[in-house]
Chain A
């Protein structure tokens, strides 16, 4: 394959084939085609399998943390989950009336843990973040978007639609664009960050030859992996935070 790339001689093609090579070398689980056609339509099989793995990890982590919880002598896992929960509850209560906030608390908690595990899972060699697929992020963004509308209607009734035509009817198209931009930016921010992280991991592996990797070339990869962990946390936090903010916008009375 590299010989073929060299024959073409174009820089872009060379780097693409180099990435292909890395992906091919890392593909030890047998997901050859990116898209598989099944009875349910076209599916990205690798994404779905990785999602299942991440779901399993989330379930394992949270269940093992919440079994045999103690008030006076909490275990380390229990403390981690408790702190996470309280941190998220603090965020929700900062932005929302606590009574309304309780209704999205489960969603926020699940969303953050799932996204965090998803983002970090791609850093394990040969694995892939479910969030490095635009289908996942867009799906979740649309879900959040629909949920905010539903919550808005639930708490405000028909009054929810009033903000589309405020302060003038003239603003209707602008508000619609703004509303649609919300899920799209939400989805592509997360997707871009995580996918770029994975691509750069592969690029670093492909760019630095094996000999150089052993003699210090791994440092670049290590730095990038560390930064990716940071980005994983930040992006999960941003997605969760924006979910809270959008819900708050939809649910709370407008302040005039």
Chain B
């Protein structure tokens, strides 16, 4: 054993080196180790806080999104309702307008028919008068002096009567 120690050159330095290292170990434990551990813990906490905050924000964003989607759906439905209402109102309006127009047209047609009827009667009576006078004129020209005025008028009246019975 002694010769081995001699050959390796072992001596009190071995103990001194252990002592030196233990001093260094204690120093590092007291001065250097705590701040490293502390800073790593703080960093870990900061990262965890960030992750938690990010998750929270994502959750909130998801909620907001759902809310917005719901709002949009509701708005769409409301818009549809409004459009349907408006369409129905417009249809009613147009129907009433058409009805009114139809009535007006009927009324105008009616009055026009009445006017026509009236004018026709008027025209027929005027025509009668004129035919009578024209006939008298023609007859007076043709017969001249041969027939008296009374006889002539009777003849003409007969004629007109016949003519009046004809459909004109």
Report A's interface with B, CB cutoff 8 A: 34-35, 38, 40-44, 47-48, 51-52, 55, 58-59, 62-63, 65-66, 69-72, 74, 78, 81-82, 85-86, 106-107, 109-110, 113-114, 130, 133-136, 138-140, 142-143
Using a CB–CB distance below 8 Å, which chain B residues touch chain A? 8-18, 20-25, 27-29, 31-33, 35-36, 38-40, 42-43, 46
List, in ascending order, chain A residues with CB within 8 A of B28's CB.
Answer: 58-59, 62, 106, 109-110, 113
Q: Please tell me which one of the listed residues B11, B18, B31, B38 contacts residue A43 in the complex, with CB atoms under 8 A apart.
A: B11
CA A43 to CA B36, docked complex, whole Å: 36
Q: How far in angstroms is the closest Cβ of chain B from A237?
A: 18
**Measured between C-beta atoms, what is the minimum distance from B74 to chain A in Å?**
45
Decide if B10 touches A85 in the complex (CB within 8 Å). Answer: no
Bound-state CA distance A85–B37 (Å) is: 9
Nearest CB in chain A: distance from B150 CB, A = 140
With contacts A106-B29, A138-B10 taken as known, whether A43 is within 8 angstroms of B35 at the C-beta atoms is no
Contact A66 B10 (CB under 8 A): no
Across-interface contacts of A71 in B (CB, < 8 A): 39, 42-43, 46
Contact of B14 (CB < 8 Å), options: A65, A66, A74, A135: A135
Find chain A residues with CB under 8 A from B10 CB: 134-135, 138
B interface, over-half SS: helix
Query: In the bound complex, how far is the Cα of B46 from the Cα of A72, in angstroms?
Result: 9
Sample of 16 further A-B pairs with CB below 8 A, known A44-B9, A63-B31, A71-B39: A40-B16, A41-B11, A42-B13, A48-B20, A51-B17, A55-B20, A58-B28, A66-B35, A66-B36, A66-B39, A69-B38, A74-B39, A86-B40, A139-B15, A139-B21, A142-B18
Instruction: With a 10 A CB-CB cut-off, give which of B9, B10, B13 has the most chain A CB atoms.
Output: B13
Give, as a whole number of angstroms, the nearest-CB distance from B47 to chain A: 10
Cβ contact of B16, chosen from A48, A58, A107, A110, cutoff 8 A: A48
> How close is A236's CB to chain B, nearest CB, in angstroms?
13
Known: A66-B32, A143-B21. A138 touches B14 (CB 8 A): yes
B17: A residues at CB distance < 8 A: 47-48, 51, 130, 133, 135-136, 139-140
Q: Are A85 and B40 interface neighbours, CB within 8 A?
A: yes
Complex formed: what's the CA distance from A52 to B20 in Å? 8
Kindly report which residue of chain B lies nearest to residue A136, judged by CB atoms. B17
